[in-house]
A and B are shown apart, each in its own frame.
Chain A
Amino acid sequence: MEGMNIKKLEDIRNEISKARVDQKTCITVCGGTGCHAYGCLKVAQAFKDEIKKQKLQDSVGVRTTGCHGFCERGPIVVIQPGGIFYQRVQIKDIKEVISETIINKKILDSLLYVDPKTEEKIIYEREVPFYKKQERIIFGNNGFIDPTEIKDYIALKGYSAIAKVLRNMTPQQVIEEIKKSGLRGRGGAGFYTGLKWEITSKSQEDIKYLVCNCDEGDPGAYMDRSLLEGNPHSVIEGMLIGAYAIEAKEGFIYVRDEYPLAVKNITIAIDQARDYSLLGEKILGTDFSFDISISKGAGAFVSGEESALLACIEGKIGIPKQRPPYPAQKGLRGKPTNINNVETWANAPIIINEGAKKYSQTGTNGSKGTKIFSLVGKINNTGLVEVPMGMTLREIIFDIGGGIPGGKEFKAVQTGGPSGGCIPKKLLDLPIDFESLTEAGSMMGSGGMIVMDKNTCMVDVAKYFLNFLRDESCGKCLSCREGTQRMWEIVTDITEGKGKEGDLDFLEALAKATRDASMCGLGQTAANPVLSTIRHFRDEYEAHIRDKKCPAGVCKELIQYSIIEEKCTGCLACLKVCPQEAISGELKKVHVLDQSKCIKCGGCYEACNFDAIKIE
């Protein structure tokens, strides 16, 4: 754009805002990956077609936005202004939404969210319990922005933080502000962001690099993807602020291969930012120049580790290096490199706009601001939730997450991905921050929260993570390569009824050796899933070892399916699905399961509508 500068950016913002004052009705359709999978694009298209058919184009718009977070209820449609919240919207509903809600201003009861606790129908998004307790400072704009449209971001104060920085602040002042805010890295370890920037900025090297880490490898965590997909300009703006502070001219965004939509949206966003002179030479007419390129991962968990990630960008295999020297001293191509995670970058514009003082009023003593968690697993309201640091697990799981499906008993929550641990029921009132999670034997990680109920076997969970880690260990350190493998073998034996006395002591010793002798974070934390489950669920391990029983009914070798005679109605459902013909019987007569033929596939348990299949 010709002659772009700070003043002109403000003019453009005013223009866009003015045009939107007498804003027409806007139907926003969530376009996150979850809703994509539910078919939101077809829903959005159907809205557009219907609006055209009814000749309403001039008064009603349709916008496919970033992720709204409430993935459980997708496809989500919110009608602005006002915020009428419709969930699980299907193509067949669209005609009615237009004719009733848009034209006749009537609410469609059938599409409203029903609070399962009060059975009350809820009309507005902000009143849905899932959103009520959240504080969505990072994530809130997702629902208003079409991520492929830079004007949407600019209209919501977008790029005003970098304008402020370029106009009024020195690089040192920016670093001081970030330091004062108390912001800590959201990628896992929780290092102070301002301090990290300062180390890189102090280097005397001419060339410095900036990297945004979106190698979100923790299974069950997807907030970084949702930010990059849903509000990519906030990440670009954060990187601009960082680049100005440490005086870097070149930046990279490293994205996982499994995130095609994120790659697409950030690519569009970078192009648009260049058009608006927000990336490239002489940004907004100043002497500051910075540009970003995208580097796509190729599927390796360990490449999220800083030094491994840099190797990937250089086209090598992603194996970590010994630190020090840290990337801040000697990183990409041997030059000082500052790496932060997606969510961390997205925090920077907010700190600059609101001021460190206001920002740091949210959170706990050691952990400031909010954190986005992905609340998944055995939970009613699966989705992404953003809460102030210090909220208790109970509030997150029961007030926001709506508790466990089927009213089953809560057993544990796993945080921190494969490096984290399981937190038991007795710690439900734990206020969540970096320190408290570490004390409980887990860690913050990137914010995955996998909820488990009484049907989840904790030994099986430990086995799951060990299998993951032995597969993803790069193999450089013997302690990690062999340690994860041996721990997996022992835990596998336990789940197969071959565990013996002394296994747990040996596991603990092996876990500590793996932790102490490994070079990078993967090996150093690989023992957490085992140690935390032994610490909090020792009795469950002992039941497997001593009694050869799996109390949760998961470990195949230790369980048996059988038919409860009193409950069996003789409906033939289980008989039909059994691949082994292990179930025999006639209509309306109690069925019989032949143990010698059963392969424990679980098909009958799933098929039975009368809870007549027992696992023990």
Chain B
Amino acid sequence: MPKLNMQQSLKMAAALQYYDFYRYFPQSKLANKALFNSLVLYRKAGDIDKVKQLNLIILEKHPKDEIAISSYKEIANNHNDACEFDLAAEFYIKLYNTGLIKDEKERLSLIYNSAKLYLLLQDYPNAEKYFAEIARKFQKHDEANDAIFEQAKIKERQNNYKAAIDLYLKYFKRVQISNDELSYYFAKFARWNKAFLDNETLEKQYYRKILNLPLKTLTSGIEFFAEARFQLAENSVQNFDTLKDVVTAQNQMQEILHEYDEIIKIGDHKWGLASLVRVGEVLEGFANILTNAPLPSQEELGDASINDYKNEIQKVIDRHVKDAESSYINAIKQGESKRILTEFVYEARTKLDVILGHMTKTRCYWEKPNYVIITDNTKQELYYDKR
């Protein structure tokens, strides 16, 4: 039981008297002030239970009175400290909606806190609603830009990539960010573009922007820049296998290989490695096109025999397959030595095994981890999260 000193006892006695006044003269003009004084004195005396009780009385009976401001704040902060974020967010926004707070900065901080807490709780409709209000009503403040950025992140999480890109670009127009950061987002856009969006429109819109990023200004963003270029180059590879005409295929192969060579020069980590795998695939693809190409007529061959032609073509095919093999080996070596975590090492191994005639080497039963271990090490027990 806490010991009370004289000061505390006096405060509590005074608080009780103020509260009694409120109870006996509720119609008095001074009633509200008495209630508020009682609350302040209980707070100073450290009587938490009484403070809670009075806060609830104030919010129940006088929610639109100025004396409610501190009660709203105190209850919201207490919920926040106790990790009851939904209740904290609710009380911040209640206070915001009362209109009792006139100071713009303070109003902003209330709605911003609330929006952030809803975001934390993954309550996206509420978070989005309040961030949108911040962006609309508090345009002069930095938080308005943050709100746009947070809205973009929400759209990204909801897999609404087109809306996310628009919001990110809106944010970039308002806030100056470094080219490294920009390349991070361009890589994201290119990834979404390839996987989910209408390639044509987005490619036209962003391709030039991405390629025009000055390489010299990039440091930590260089790998993202390489990824952006890699993702954009993917479309041409996808169509390559469908080509039938050898000359067209050869010309296109040169272009594709040139682009991947550029990426290998830029990104010496994950995307350089991925490009090595793609180089291998394109070389193999060209070898396949050659294999399936129709044989020329004797007239077209002139003096040469059909067998000589076949031998020559086979040499070209073998050379391309050999180059593809080296490219895969190179990718695997890079992956192992630099510990690069990417599915492309696996892809390189599988492709290499096919060339070498081992159809199943990497296809053991255990193909992917089917669980990860999370731990509560204080109790020395393991919990398995089966995926």
A binds B: no
| B interface list, Cβ under 8 A from A | none
